[in-house]
A and B are shown apart, each in its own frame.
Chain A
Amino acid sequence: QVQLQESGPGLVKPSETLSLTCAVSGYSISSGYYWGWIRQPPGKGLEWIGSIYHSGSTYYNPSLKSRVTISVDTSKNQFSLKLSSVTAADTAVYYCAREPETYCGGDCYFYYFDYWGQGTLVTVSS
């Protein structure tokens, strides 16, 4: 069974860098698929942050792109998120998720998030 587990500091100071890691078990990242980060401010909706392929290819939310770096370590079967220059607006539960694809013909692929971590709350405060 595929499982994902986020880890990292629960408290980050303003202007510093938020760093989280997602450990994957039950599936080898090297086997394929994209792997994503999604966040949810307290009491609010979901926001996609970005995704990475096992090769290191990345896609980022344009609204966060200047501050986000997602990397992958296939030897440890994990991927990581770094978000720089954080403010209180970055306080959220951060989720990691698997992003498989379903082929629909030609160059058509459906993407979605099928396995999620439990989430980790990161608070930005001095």
Chain B
Amino acid sequence: DIQMTQSPSSLSASVGDRVTITCRASQSISSYLNWYQQKPGKAPKLLIYAASSLQSGVPSRFSGSGSGTDFTLTISSLQPEDFATYYCQQSYSTPRIFTFGPGTKVDIK
């Protein structure tokens, strides 16, 4: 089974900060990596798919990069509405088995 880890598990940042979250897979998953944002009491929202493709309607301050085992989600200038928990998810496994990372909580410094 492919295991996903994220670092850090939480971080404190200020509005305007550049924030980077890392996701690592236990084996190579090529670019089969998605990122989601979840706010308390709400469903997750797709931000990035295929490691670096920005989902329609998502602000351009969000970007994704990486391939193989190491991936990053970057928020170029943190906005008040970006305080949330972020999850990565792999879709590489065949047959298809989706695995989510444990999440990274971004809160206000």
Q: Which chain A residues have a beta carbon within 8 Å of chain B's beta carbons?
A: 36, 38, 45-48, 51, 59, 61-62, 95, 97, 102, 104, 110-114, 116-119
Chain A nearest CB, measured from B7 CB (Å) = 14
- With A110-B91, A113-B44, A118-B43 given, is the CB distance from A102 to B102 under 8 Å? no
Chain A nearest CB, measured from B105 CB (Å) = 11
Q: Are B87 and A110 in contact (CB under 8 A)?
A: no
Q: Are A116 and B44 in contact (CB under 8 A)?
A: yes
Instruction: List 30 A–B pairs whose Cβ atoms lie within 8 Å, in order of A's numbering.
Output: A38-B44, A45-B87, A45-B100, A45-B102, A45-B103, A46-B38, A46-B44, A46-B100, A48-B97, A48-B98, A48-B99, A51-B96, A59-B95, A59-B96, A61-B97, A61-B98, A62-B97, A102-B50, A104-B50, A110-B32, A110-B49, A111-B32, A112-B34, A112-B49, A112-B89, A113-B34, A114-B49, A116-B43, A116-B45, A118-B42
Chain A nearest CB, measured from B85 CB (Å) = 9
- CA–CA, A26 to B45, complex, Å? 18
- With A46-B87, A119-B43 given, is the CB distance from A111 to B102 under 8 Å? no
Question: Which one of A61, A95, A110, A116 has the greatest number of beta carbons of chain B within 10 Å?
Answer: A110
Question: How many residues on B have C-beta within 8 angstroms of the other chain's C-beta atoms?
Answer: 27
Chain B nearest CB, measured from A93 CB (Å) = 9
Q: Are A102 and B49 in contact (CB under 8 A)?
A: yes
- CA–CA, A112 to B49, complex, Å? 7
Interface of chain B, helix or strand or loop or mixed? loop
Q: Which chain B residues have a beta carbon within 8 Å of chain A's beta carbons?
A: 1, 31-32, 34, 36, 38, 42-46, 49-50, 53, 55, 87, 89, 91, 95-103
- CA–CA, A118 to B39, complex, Å? 12
Q: Are B100 and A48 in contact (CB under 8 A)?
A: yes
- With A59-B96, A110-B50, A112-B49 given, is the CB distance from A95 to B87 under 8 Å? no
Q: Are B96 and A111 in contact (CB under 8 A)?
A: yes
- CA–CA, A95 to B99, complex, Å? 15
Q: Are A47 and B91 in contact (CB under 8 A)?
A: no
Chain A residues with CB below 8 A from B31, complex form:
110
